[in-house]
Amino acid sequence: MENNRTAPAPTPDDPEAGLRAVLALRRLAERAEANQVAVARRAGWSWQQIGDALGITRQSVHAKYGK
């Protein structure tokens, strides 16, 4: 089962907690992006459409997810 604990809220004087929160958010965003790219491909979206929706080139999104 996946661990869904929430990272502690960073405080202005605790850069370690703040950076851990940033890392957790980055990992969550990467998983969400990968899942939505897969959903879009199954729905018949082109690499161009996905790239446009993500604000990146079709080449970039294909290089990252086109395996």
pLDDT in tens, 10-66: 667 899 999 999 999 999 999 999 999 999 999 999 999 999 999 999 999 999 999
pLDDT on residue 3 = 59
**Structural domain contains residue 5:** no
C-alpha to C-alpha distances, 40 to 25, 30, 31, 44, 51, nearest whole angstrom: 22, 15, 14, 6, 11
Q: Which residues of 17-43 are buried (b: 16+ CB within 10 A; e: fewer)?
A: ebeebeeeeeeeeeeeeeeebeebeee
1: confidence class by pLDDT, cuts 50, 70, 90: very low
Number of domains in the chain: 1
Residue pair 33/54 in contact (Cβ under 8 Å)? The answer is: yes
**Structural domain contains residue 35:** yes
The C-alpha atoms of residue 61 and residue 19 are separated, in whole angstroms, by: 27
Q: What is the pTM of this model?
A: 0.77
Q: Which domain holds residue 53?
A: 31-67
**Structural domain contains residue 65:** yes
